[in-house]
Structure 1
Amino acid sequence: MLYKLERNYHFMHKKRLILILILLSSFLASCGNRGIPAIKQELLDQKMSVLMLSSAGLTPPAKEAIGQALKSWRDANSIAYDWVQDLNALDENVVSKLKTKSYDYIYVVGNELFPSANETMALGLSASKWTLLQSQPFAGGSAGAVNEQAAVLQLDPQQMETLKNNAIQNLIFQNTVIEWVTQPDRPIPSVWAPSEEADHIVFLNNTQWFQQLTLQVHQHHATWVVFYNPVEEAQLQRAKNLGVSVLDYTGALTADLNWKQVLDNRLAMMKTHAWQKGVQTYNAQELKELKMK
């Protein structure tokens, strides 16, 4: 009797083991079929993509911030990207990318690239959302016309004018003798150079403008020369050689931007699909400092 019970016990135990092995085999086979879920094509098509175009004139900290931001966008947010850097203008390489790839967002970082970016946008090669990011105040005082389908992030023009105007007012308050250099179609504000001080103004359309400036500096014992019209660096240097302080009014400012914050805000915009065309200004967190050179 005992033998029979032991035999039945071993039989049931073996049957239970076989059943467990069958169930385990079925489970493993099922897992083998699934494995790591394959990414469906429609999900790949939905993956956000960015083309970053940056100027050769950017500072090393700005380039580093861009590189770190792009890696973070890819690793933490699955944003695919291409980065073409150290550009002086959007070239054939960029045009080729636009012809062969589709990007959701295109960022152009650096003032120098704006003219060629406008030309490239006009080709109509891409339905991408373009954003142009100003890196420094424009030396010519103006960004010029930008394609109406683009977003432009720039420094606050009113803030810049206020800072420059205050610098001039401080010179005048100190009774500084100033010689002004400009063009006839860009007159000096009368509050700075009244009509009775017309002999303190030199016009650049005069081929002898530098000789005239030299005469007036010596005649009036001037200590400052202010260029109110955009000029080349060589013209500024000639004036400095007269032994006076020189101010380039249109290119007088420099900006220190918080590029990490600027790019973090672009990421938030992409994630919330809040992109809008048109001109916008850097906010207080994105602009660290705006100052006279």
Structure 2
Amino acid sequence: MLYKLERNYQCMHKTRLLLILTLLISLLAGCGNRGIPVIKQELLDQKMSVLMLSSSGLSASAKDVLGQTLKNWRDGNSIAYEWVKDLNALDDNVDSKLKSKTYDYIYVVGNELFPSANEKMALGLTTSKWTFLQSQPFAEGSAITVNEQASLLQLDLQQIETMKNKAIQDLLFQNVVIEWVTQSERPIPSAWAPSEEADHIVLLNNNNQWFQQLTFQVHQHHAAWVIFYSPVSEDQLQKAKSLGVSVMDFAGALTADLNWTQIFDNRLAMMKTHAWQKGIQNYNPQELKELKMK
């Protein structure tokens, strides 16, 4: 009898230890996943879902707004999201997400990401709606192919050209002597550099001596400005500045101060009303704080 009681006690003790061990394993597993922003496909299927892809070139203030925006979308509107930030291009990690999960909306924030995002979109890895959000006036090579899946929010090109034209006209009105540097396929508008002033233009096409030629013309004409009309490298800009004249990179002459809070508020309203539209749209006056010459 005593043996049987002792044996029963041992069995109960082992069972209790097994239950405690199982509970500890469960608790440890829960702690191990805490704080890791992994969204299962079931949750994405239940809620409106967003994949946010943002460039490393965004300002700190823009990143702060974006982070707070996503939290507000989740907490206030039950939007499931994943955020891949500080990208220089869409990488294998993004590829994996596009192949393994389905999102209602994909946002690409920052011009630097447009070329690689354009390539990923063309592969047809997802049927999601893509929205490209321009962070600054377009640089060479950052344009996208706007197809049935894509929406582009950009700065007003007409406004940009108007500002650039005014800047040049102001210089010409002051009778400032300008030397132009460009490519042959990007001729200087005749209103700025008439044909009789062709000796004020330096072509970069296959011209290893462009800087020597520019130096000669600056000194010969006593020029006060050098304006690069075609896209230019930082090294070329610095060479021109070494001549002691004012230098303008015309392709990158403007900078934009965008109201990111308003931009994302408007995207939220669009998602809630299912009003997404393909094609190119300009930022409205509330979304653009200021566009100015650098």
* TM bracket, shorter-chain basis: 0.7 to 0.9
Match for residue 161 of structure 2? 161
Q: CA deviation at 1:207?
A: 2.0
Structure 2 partner of 1:124:
124
Change in Cα spacing, 1:43 to 1:63, as seen in structure 2 (3 Å) is: closer
Please state how far the C-alpha of 1:124 moved relative to its aligned partner.
1.1
Question: What secondary structure, in the 3-state scheme, does the structure 2 residue paired with 1:50 have?
Answer: strand
Q: Which residue number corresponds to residue 12 of structure 2?
A: none
Question: Contact between 2:259 and 2:288, CA under 8 Å: does it hold in 1?
Answer: yes
| Secondary structure at the counterpart of residue 57 of structure 1 | coil
Counterpart-to-counterpart distance in 2, 1:114 and 1:43: 28
Tell me which amino acid in the other structure corresponds to 2:192: W
Instruction: Flag the 1:44–1:146 CA change in 2: closer, same or farther, 3 A.
Output: closer
Distance, in Å, in 2 between the alignment partners of 1:168 and 1:58 is 29
SS of the aligned residue for 1:170 comes to helix
- Correspondence for 2:243: 242
Task: Tell me the distance in 1 between the aligned counterparts of 2:135 and 2:277.
Answer: 20
| Equivalent position of 2:282 in the other structure | 281
Q: Which runs of 5+ in 2 are unaligned?
A: 1-41
The structure-2 alpha-carbon separation of the partners of 1:247 and 1:122, relative to structure 1 and needing over 3 Å to count, comes to same
- Matches of residues 88-127 of structure 1 in structure 2 within 5 Å? 88-127=88-127
Task: Determine the structure 2 residue equivalent to 1:52.
Answer: 52
TM-score, normalization by structure 2 = 0.83
Separation in structure 1 between the aligned mates of residue 44 and residue 191 of structure 2, nearest angstrom: 62
- Residue 77 to residue 145, structure 1, CA distance change in 2 (3 Å): closer
- Per the alignment, do residues 236 and 43 of structure 1 end up closer, same or farther by CA in structure 2, a change over 3 Å counting? closer
1:209-228 equivalences in 2 (<5 Å): 209-228=210-229
| Structure 1 consecutive aligned stretches of length 4 or more whose deviation exceeds 3 Å | 42-46
Q: For 1:33-80, what per-residue CA distance to the aligned partner results, in whole angstroms no more than 9, with x for missing partners?
A: xxxxxxxxx997341000000000000000001001000000000000
Aligned AA (1:155): L
Q: Write out per-residue CA displacement over residues 83-106 of structure 1, whole angstroms, 9 at most, x where no aligned residue.
A: 000000000000101111111000
2:250 corresponds to 1:259: no
Contact 2:114–2:144 (CA under 8 A) maintained in structure 1: no
Mapped to 1, the partners of 2:43 and 2:87 lie a distance apart of 33
Flag the structure with larger Rg.
1
Letter in 1 for 2:116: S
Letter in 2 for 1:219: Q
Q: TM-score, normalised by structure 1?
A: 0.83
Partner SS, residue 83 of structure 1: strand
Task: Give distance in 1, aligned partners of 2:214 and 2:44.
Answer: 65
Aligned residues: 252
Mapped contact 1:121–1:147 kept (Cα < 8 A) = no
CA distance in 1, matches of 2:143, 2:65: 27
Contact 2:110/2:135 (CA < 8 Å) preserved in 1? yes
State the partner residue of 1:68.
68
Query: Within 1, Cα distance between the matches of 2:290 and 2:65?
Result: 17
RMSD between aligned alpha carbons?
A: 1.6
- Is the 8 Å Cα contact of residues 155 and 282 (structure 1) preserved in structure 2? yes
Structure 1 residue 198: Cα displacement? 1.1
State whether residues 146 and 280 of structure 2, in contact with CA within 8 Å, keep that contact through their aligned partners in structure 1.
no
Could you tell me how far apart the structure 1 residues matched to 2:100 and 2:110 are?
A: 24
Whole-Å separation in 2 of the counterparts to 1:107 and 1:235: 34
Return the alpha-carbon distance in structure 1 between the equivalents of residues 257 and 268 of structure 2.
20
